[in-house]
Structure 1
Amino acid sequence: MANSSSSVSGSGSANLPRSGAVSKGYDFASTWEQNAPLTDQQQAAISLLSNAVLDRPFPIPLTLLSQEISGQDNGLSLSTKDNFLEHSGAIQAVMVNTHQFYKWFSELESSMKSETEEKYRHYVNTLTERIETCDGILYQVDETLHLFNELQLQHQAVATKTKTLHDACDRLLMEKQRLIEFAEALRSKLNYFDELENVATNFYSPNMRVGNGHFLPLLKRLDECISYVERNPQYAESSVYLVKFRQLQSRALGMIRSHVLSVLKSASSQVLAVIRGNGAAVSEGVEASVIYVRFKAAASELKPVLMEIESRSSRKEYAQVLAECHRLYCEQRLSLVKGIVHQRISEFAKKEALPSLTRSGCAYLMQVCYLEHQLFDHFFPSSSEDVTSLAPLIDPLCTYLYDTLRPKLIHEANLDFLCELVDILKVEVLGEQLSKRSESLAGLRPTLHRVLADVHERLTFRARTHIRDEIANYFPFDEDLDYPGKLERSVETLSGTTSPEENADVFKSWYPPLEKTLSCLSKLYRCLEPAVFTGLAQEAVEVCSASIQKASKLIAKRSSPMDGQLFLIKHLLILREQIAPFDIEFSVTHKELDFSHLLEHLRRILRGQASLFDWSRSTSLARTLSPRVLESQIDAKKELEKNLKSTCEEFIMSVTKLVVDPMLSFVTKVTAVKVALSSSNQEQKPDSVLAKPLKNQAFATPDKVAELVQTVGVSIQQELPKVMAKLKLYLQNSSTRTILFKPIKTNIVEAHLQLQSLLKSEYSDEEMKNIGIVPMQDLNAQLDNLL
């Protein structure tokens, strides 16, 4: 039955028309299945329904027939009920054989197929009707979609045209804006060129003045036009416009210069009128009230214009005009104050000495410069820091002071005055006054440095002259060489003081060149540059040391050699002590040209041994005439130390010989005898007189030795105290005396030790006792007591 049903269905479906609607229906069902899937619950319900209809029951007629057949035991006849047969349309039949059954079954099967196909045919007809309906609907939908697509295409076309129109409008608006901006930019650029006529009309107007309120704005606009044209030389006729603009600028700047000059001259005329009304002599109060206070009114009138010029001074044209205004201002101010300044400085020069003149002149000139700088700052506030701006006014005023001081400086010979001038200029003026008001007095500094340089030059010259005349060429008087009498008188004068070094009279005991040297160096140390002072100090110490040595020789001849030595030691010690605080090197390198080889070369050339024109050899004319540079380094301090050391050694040896010379001579003679005796023994001359023992020698008998010891003892007791007294007279410092006496004591003790050692080896104890040599302990105590 299933197969028949499926065949019917298949045949029915095979005969269905395959229209576009059916295909779209299938496509729609497939799309529907994809877009609307069943849930699990729905699928479970479908499965239950499928299971329920899986086993189809037999048709009712067949069921009844089977029941009747099963109810008969014999026979194959089949009878049906009337109502069933009527209802089913079947024919009553009695089946007695198999053929009848098959026939009946065939009919029944055909009937059932017809019944089943009718239902499906009805279903197919229904589906066909519905398909046709759907085809109509789909056709309408297709038409609608087609219309919709056409509408969409039309909409897109309209939208495209609309967008194109909008874009065109936007482009037009942008083009319009760009053209407007271009026109405005062109108009703004042309404004700079159009300003030429406007500015020219105003500047050439007879009513235009610098003081007019429209002048400065027009000048500013003119500068803007010039700057713009300079930045854009590519524009047509820009060079022509630039020339015309510059002509207008030159005219405007010329008007400013004339206006400044007119105002300054007017102010100067007013001041001169007041000064003439007060007479020739103008007091300082009138100067302050007239020359400075009244001139500030002119500054108020010119200040706006001058400030504008200063603000644009970075441009070349305005810098030139500003410099011209500075020059005009300085000329007018100089014409007013130069006579007064010259008069004041001349009055100072007539009344005061050089130091006072320098102090008063510098103070007055600094006051003038300070007031002038303040007034200049009222006119040119931005230019007042530049020192060169006010130089045409300050330099001539400073020249008056310099011209007044220089002649006096050239003729000044007093070192004290010159040193005082250095202190005034270096400490008071440059150090104190200028440091407080450095900006306002900066213009005065070059002149003050120039005056100070002249003072240094004059001071250096006078110092060298002083060293040469007062130290190197000093001719001593008799009282200068009166040693030790001069010291004795000084001790009597200083006997009432506790510290002789603190009394000023102590310098009177010095040799004058020493006092002059130290006084000169102490004055020059703070006044000269270190390099200049070093050269002068080296020269002064050198010539002072030579002068002291020369004087010591004269004193040695006049008094005694010991006085000459002590005089030299005393003054060299003082010189060394006094120059120690000077923080300089006393070493100076001297360079000189040596032409000593020139004569020998010329002789060789004259003899024909060398050629005059041989430029390749060492004997050429160039080499022959070239001098040799000889360098020599002199250290005055080392030379001083060397002279002091040698003098101290001479003094020590002279005192040693004075006291123990007999002992030294005896020891020397004994040494010579021993050497001669040793030589005679080697030559095997036993009969020589030298072979006798030492104590048997005529000069070395115990009596002679005792006499020698006694003589030395007397010298220690009598001569050595005199030496120590003289040493104390020349050298007041006890430590210095101790240092100088220590080697003398060592020499005396050493002489006694040598003699004692010699006596122990050559003389008996009895003979040594008779000789009476002093024990070393007693000798040391005796010598220590002398200090």
Structure 2
Amino acid sequence: MQVCQLEHQLFDHFFPSSSTDSSSLAPLIDPLCTYLYDTLRPKIIHEASLDPLCELVDILKVEVIGEQLSRRGESLAGLRPTLLRILADIHERLTFCARTYIRDEIANYRPGDEDLDYPAKLERAAQSATEESGGNKSDVVNSWYPPLEKTISCLSKLYRCLEPAVFTGLAQEAVEFCTISIQNASKSIAKRASSMDSQLFLIKYFLILREQIAPFDIEFSVTHKELDFSHLLEHLRRILRGQASLFDWSRSTSLARTFSPRVLESQIDARKELEKSLKTSCEEFIMSVTKLVVDPMLSFVTKVTAVKVALSAGNQAQKSDSLLSKPLKSQAFATPDKVAELIQKVGVAIQQDLPNVMNKMKLYLQNPSTRMILFKPIKTNIVEAHVQLQSLVKSEYSSEEMQTIGMVSIQDLQAQLDNLI
């Protein structure tokens, strides 16, 4: 830049009448720029790390082209094409290295025992945070599942360095592969720990991933185009059977049409797929906790429904040959003592199992509002199961039998559940 500026000053001094035409200096400036480009290009194409490439983009775009060229104006006009060419090479190399990084470090990441040591890993982190009276943001990020940390780190570096269209494609790939990697890890955790740890692992990191990609002002969707030759075989079969002619150019089975592929387009939106996976994970967790607590009630209501359906069918032979003709409380599974037993079992689950679930939720999900959102449908399901059973008990059992059964009031149940939050 100094050489170009000095040459421009000399040219302006000796040939003032031609100094306004920058092309007059081209025979001198172009070879100098070529030397610069030939010197830098080998270094650029051999750079494999994202950080230096991102720094180079920032230096060229902001400091050199944005500031120096704008300030020095016409004296550096001859250098601009070369600088833009260098910047294009850096962009190309950065895109290639980013795709390689996404493939190797995210899509093909192989977790070790430490990566899958849940919930122990979170318990150690919580203990460490308590001893140190809190932790900084970098400590939290470093505790994330590695592909997630690598995804967010990679996208944060690339966001300001690449064109929006290029960044969108890379971001879509990174988020898609990160989502798959988290799902695969959760399957391993289910085998090593429990299904509940697996579900909470998914919810935890899907929520973090959704939160972290929100600031990127792009659409995480790309359109894939592919050629479809699936119709080719059927055309060839028709020709071989004599149902169509290979040389009949007037029909749809002509040679040109037969061998002409269809173009299929499909759009993949990584953000929407992430939302769908998060929703599914939350629903599975909610249902598993509901089943853990009130499964005896749900099973009982299901049996009662089956009995009533059989009775209402009017099959007299079946009635005479089975216990279905007896009142519900005469059924072996529905005696007052049996109902009291299942209510007691559910009560124990609410007092013992549900607090353990809440503690595990606190371990995985630090945000109280997130836990509240997740617990609300669980609470609703538990209350609804009690309401169904109470309605059934009131219609089928006497007052004395209801006292033996010992149903808890819905108001007391709701208060008990609220105290768990």
TM-score per shorter chain, which class? over 0.9
List aligned pairs for 1:628-707, cutoff 5 A.
Answer: 628-680=262-314, 685=319, 688-707=322-341
Distance 1:382 1:770, change over 3 A: farther
Q: CA deviation at 1:426?
A: 0.9
* Aligned counterpart in structure 1 of residue 28 of structure 2, from 383, 393, 415: 393
* Aligned counterpart in structure 2 of residue 490 of structure 1, from 116, 119, 125: 125
The residue aligned with 1:564 is: 198
CA distance in 1, matches of 2:142, 2:116: 12
* Aligned counterpart in structure 1 of residue 68 of structure 2, from 412, 433, 441: 433
List aligned pairs for 1:77-226, cutoff 5 A.
Answer: none
Which blocks of at least 5 consecutive residues in structure 1 are unaligned?
1-365
* Aligned counterpart in structure 2 of residue 466 of structure 1, from 101, 112, 133: 101
CA distance in 2, matches of 1:498, 1:528: 40
The residue aligned with 2:256 is: 622
The amino acid of 1:731's aligned partner reads: L
Distance 1:697 1:586, change over 3 A: same
The amino acid of 1:661's aligned partner reads: D
List aligned pairs for 1:61-80, cutoff 5 A.
Answer: none
The residue aligned with 1:456 is: 91
CA distance in 1, matches of 2:95, 2:411: 60
CA distance in 2, matches of 1:374, 1:426: 25
Distance 1:382 1:735, change over 3 A: farther
Larger RCO (alpha carbons 8 Å, 6+ apart): 2
Moved more, 431-440 or 531-540: 431-440
Distance 1:509 1:773, change over 3 A: farther
Give the alignment's Cα RMSD to 1 decimal.
1.6
Q: CA deviation at 1:597?
A: 1.8
Paired residue secondary structure (1:732): coil
The residue aligned with 2:399 is: 765
* Aligned counterpart in structure 2 of residue 750 of structure 1, from 384, 397, 402: 384
Moved more, 591-600 or 476-485: 591-600
Q: CA deviation at 1:408?
A: 1.1
- What does the per-residue CA deviation read over 1:218-253, in whole Å, with 9 as the maximum and x for residues that have no partner? xxxxxxxxxxxxxxxxxxxxxxxxxxxxxxxxxxxx
Contact 2:311 2:319 in 1 (8 A): no
- What does the per-residue CA deviation read over 1:514-560, in whole Å, with 9 as the maximum and x for residues that have no partner? 11111100100000000000001011111111111111111111111
The residue aligned with 1:735 is: 369
The residue aligned with 1:273 is: none
CA distance in 1, matches of 2:326, 2:412: 34
- What does the per-residue CA deviation read over 1:381-402, in whole Å, with 9 as the maximum and x for residues that have no partner? 3433333221221121111121
Q: CA deviation at 1:616?
A: 1.7
Q: Is 1:536 the equivalent of 2:199?
A: no
CA distance in 2, matches of 1:693, 1:758: 13
CA distance in 1, matches of 2:321, 2:47: 87
Distance 1:680 1:499, change over 3 A: farther
* Aligned counterpart in structure 2 of residue 722 of structure 1, from 343, 353, 356: 356
Paired residue secondary structure (1:442): helix
Q: Is 1:578 the equivalent of 2:212?
A: yes
CA distance in 2, matches of 1:753, 1:698: 23
The amino acid of 1:483's aligned partner reads: Y
The amino acid of 1:603's aligned partner reads: R
* Aligned counterpart in structure 2 of residue 408 of structure 1, from 24, 39, 43: 43
Q: CA deviation at 1:446?
A: 0.8
The amino acid of 1:749's aligned partner reads: V
- What does the per-residue CA deviation read over 1:112-158, in whole Å, with 9 as the maximum and x for residues that have no partner? xxxxxxxxxxxxxxxxxxxxxxxxxxxxxxxxxxxxxxxxxxxxxxx
- What does the per-residue CA deviation read over 1:34-59, in whole Å, with 9 as the maximum and x for residues that have no partner? xxxxxxxxxxxxxxxxxxxxxxxxxx
The residue aligned with 2:161 is: 527
Distance 1:539 1:569, change over 3 A: same
Contact 1:490 1:505 in 2 (8 A): no
CA distance in 2, matches of 1:387, 1:490: 63
- What does the per-residue CA deviation read over 1:644-690, in whole Å, with 9 as the maximum and x for residues that have no partner? 10110000000000011001111111111111111137889567521
Paired residue secondary structure (2:268): strand
Q: Is 1:782 the equivalent of 2:416?
A: yes
CA distance in 2, matches of 1:496, 1:402: 55
Paired residue secondary structure (1:590): strand
Could you state the TM-score of these two structures normalised by the residue count of structure 1?
Answer: 0.52
CA distance in 2, matches of 1:587, 1:650: 26
Number of matched pairs: 421
Contact 1:680 1:688 in 2 (8 A): no
The residue aligned with 2:13 is: 378
CA distance in 2, matches of 1:387, 1:611: 66
Distance 1:551 1:525, change over 3 A: same
Paired residue secondary structure (1:480): coil
The amino acid of 2:156's aligned partner reads: S
The amino acid of 1:432's aligned partner reads: E
Paired residue secondary structure (1:438): helix
Q: Is 1:589 the equivalent of 2:216?
A: no
CA distance in 2, matches of 1:385, 1:665: 90
The residue aligned with 1:511 is: 145
The residue aligned with 2:111 is: 476
CA distance in 2, matches of 1:678, 1:709: 27
Please identify the structure whose Cα radius of gyration is greater: 1
Distance 1:496 1:398, change over 3 A: farther
CA distance in 2, matches of 1:778, 1:696: 30
The residue aligned with 1:611 is: 245
Q: CA deviation at 1:634?
A: 0.8
CA distance in 2, matches of 1:382, 1:578: 58
CA distance in 1, matches of 2:331, 2:245: 76
Q: CA deviation at 1:499?
A: 5.5
Q: CA deviation at 1:622?
A: 1.1
Question: 4+ residue stretches of structure 1 with deviation over 6 A?
Answer: 681-684
Q: CA deviation at 1:734?
A: 0.8
* Aligned counterpart in structure 1 of residue 232 of structure 2, from 598, 605, 616: 598
Contact 1:610 1:619 in 2 (8 A): yes
- What does the per-residue CA deviation read over 1:467-508, in whole Å, with 9 as the maximum and x for residues that have no partner? 1111111111111111111111111222246665x4311123
CA distance in 2, matches of 1:562, 1:684: 43
CA distance in 2, matches of 1:454, 1:690: 81
CA distance in 1, matches of 2:367, 2:305: 40
Paired residue secondary structure (1:526): coil
Which blocks of at least 5 consecutive residues in structure 2 are unaligned?
none
- What does the per-residue CA deviation read over 1:139-179, in whole Å, with 9 as the maximum and x for residues that have no partner? xxxxxxxxxxxxxxxxxxxxxxxxxxxxxxxxxxxxxxxxx
Contact 1:663 1:709 in 2 (8 A): yes
List aligned pairs for 1:292-371, cutoff 5 A.
Answer: 366-371=1-6
CA distance in 2, matches of 1:728, 1:382: 78
Distance 1:379 1:661, change over 3 A: same
- What does the per-residue CA deviation read over 1:310-354, in whole Å, with 9 as the maximum and x for residues that have no partner? xxxxxxxxxxxxxxxxxxxxxxxxxxxxxxxxxxxxxxxxxxxxx
CA distance in 2, matches of 1:453, 1:536: 17
The amino acid of 1:465's aligned partner reads: T
CA distance in 2, matches of 1:392, 1:593: 49
The amino acid of 1:669's aligned partner reads: K
- What does the per-residue CA deviation read over 1:547-603, in whole Å, with 9 as the maximum and x for residues that have no partner? 111111111111111111111111111111100000001111111111222222233
The amino acid of 1:503's aligned partner reads: K
Paired residue secondary structure (1:440): helix
CA distance in 2, matches of 1:684, 1:485: 55
- What does the per-residue CA deviation read over 1:267-287, in whole Å, with 9 as the maximum and x for residues that have no partner? xxxxxxxxxxxxxxxxxxxxx
